[in-house]
C-alpha cells in the first residue's frame, strides 16, 4: 500500500493554500453562436477579479468575491468553516494546489465543472473548465483563467514563461524529474493524499486529449472537447517559474464518475538548471 505523506487534513490545507487577498484579470473563452470555441482570444475580460479569503480562527472564515463571472451582480460573500467544508466530497487539496470538481455527470445539473488552482509563493494561477449538455453530449462550453497575486504579499513573484502553444511550453519541461500524489474523493476534511511512484516528465503525459491550449499565467490544459462514454482524464498544468511545473490529473471512469485527483510536480535536475 502507498504511504501517506502528510497527515494535514483537507481543511488545514485549504486555509494554507487559499488565505489571502487575491486579485487578477479574468480571461473567459466561450463558444460563439456557430458553436466554435476560440481559445486564443477571450470573449470577456473581468478586471479586476478579487477573492478575499480570511479566517478568524482555525475553524472559521469568510469568502468574499467580486468580479465574478456567474454570481448575480458579480459579487458573493459567504461563511466557510471546517464543519461544513467539502460536504459533497468534490473539494480537493494538496500542498500548493487545490480546487473543486463535479463528482460526475448529472443530467439534472446545467454544468460539469472544475476549478483548479496552482500556487507558487503568493501567486495563484486559476483555471475553470465548464462542460454543458447539448443533444445528449457534454461539450466544453467555457474556459476561464485568472492569474491571481496576493495583495498581502511583499516579495516579487516569478515570471511565467510565455509560450504560444502547449507543445512549445511542455518541450521546455521534457525530462524533468517529478513526484506525485493521489487523492480519492471523500466528503469532509479527513481525506489523505498518498504517494505514488516518481516519474520523469514527458509531454504525452499531459497532451493526450483532443482539446489542448495555453492560457494566461503559464497555464496549459488538455481535455476532451466532448466527454466520452469511456474512462477519461482532465489534464491541467502550470509553468509556475523557471524551475517548477505542476500538473493536476482528474480521473473519471466510463460512467463519468470521479475516481481520483493526481498531483505531479516537476523540477529540473541540477545539470539541467545550469544549461
Q: Is residue 138 part of a domain?
A: yes
Q: Is residue 1 part of a domain?
A: no
Please return the burial class of 95, using the count of CB atoms within 10 Å of its CB with bins 0-12, 13-18 and 19+.
middle
Residue 15 has a pLDDT of 98
Q: Is residue 180 part of a domain?
A: yes
Q: Is residue 5 part of a domain?
A: no
Residue 2 has a pLDDT of 41
Q: Is residue 2 part of a domain?
A: no
Residue 271 has a pLDDT of 54
The total number of structural domains that make up the chain: 1
Residue 241 has a pLDDT of 87
Q: Is residue 4 part of a domain?
A: no
What cell does 104 get? Answer: 460526475
What cell does 186 get? Answer: 471523500
Range of the domain at 210: 10-31+38-274
Q: Is residue 45 part of a domain?
A: yes
Alpha-carbon span 201 to 267, nearest angstrom: 9
HSE of 124 in the Cβ direction (CA atoms, 13 Å)? 32
Whether the model clears a pTM of 0.75, i.e. scores above it, the answer is: yes
Mean pLDDT by 10-residue block, N- to C-terminus, for the chain (275 residues)? 61 98 97 93 97 98 97 97 98 98 91 97 96 94 97 77 87 96 98 95 97 96 97 97 94 97 93 45
The kind and range of the H/E element at 66 are: strand 60-66
CATH code, 65: 2.40.128.20
Q: How many CB atoms lie within 10 A of CB 82?
A: 19
Amino acid at each position: 500500500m502507498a504511504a501517506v505523506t502528510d497527515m494535514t487534513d483537507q481543511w488545514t490545507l485549504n486555509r494554507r493554500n487559499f488565505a489571502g487577498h487575491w486579485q487578477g484579470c479574468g480571461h473567459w473563452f466561450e463558444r460563439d453562436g456557430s458553436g466554435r470555441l476560440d481559445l486564443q482570444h477571450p470573449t470577456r475580460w473581468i478586471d479586476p477579479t478579487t477573492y478575499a479569503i480570511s479566517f478568524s480562527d482555525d475553524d472559521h472564515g469568510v469568502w468574499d468575491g467580486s468580479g465574478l463571472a456567474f454570481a448575480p451582480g458579480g459579487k458573493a460573500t459567504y461563511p466557510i468553516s471546517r464543519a461544513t467544508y467539502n460536504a459533497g466530497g468534490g473539494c480537493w487539496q494538496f500542498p500548493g494546489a487545490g480546487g473543486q470538481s463535479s463528482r460526475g455527470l448529472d443530467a439534472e445539473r446545467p454544468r460539469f465543472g472544475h476549478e483548479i488552482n496552482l500556487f507558487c509563493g503568493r501567486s495563484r494561477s486559476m483555471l475553470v473548465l465548464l462542460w454543458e449538455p447539448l443533444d445528449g453530449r457534454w461539450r466544453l462550453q467555457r474556459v476561464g483563467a485568472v492569474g491571481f497575486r496576493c495583495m498581502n504579499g511583499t516579495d516579487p513573484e516569478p515570471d511565467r514563461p510565455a509560450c504560444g502553444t502547449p507543445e512549445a511550453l511542455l518541450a521546455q519541461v521534457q525530462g524533468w524529474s517529478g513526484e506525485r500524489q493521489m487523492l480519492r474523493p471523500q466528503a469532509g476534511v479527513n481525506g489523505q493524499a498518498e504517494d505514488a511512484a516518481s516519474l520523469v516528465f514527458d509531454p504525452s503525459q499531459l497532451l493526450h486529449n483532443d482539446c489542448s491550449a495555453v492560457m494566461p499565467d503559464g497555464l496549459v490544459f488538455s481535455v476532451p472537447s466532448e466527454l466520452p462514454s469511456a474512462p477519461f482524464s482532465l489534464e491541467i498544468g502550470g509553468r509556475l517559474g523557471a524551475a517548477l511545473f505542476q500538473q493536476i490529473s482528474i480521473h473519471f471512469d466510463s460512467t463519468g464518475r470521479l475516481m481520483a485527483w493526481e498531483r505531479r510536480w516537476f523540477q529540473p535536475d541540477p545539470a539541467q538548471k545550469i544549461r
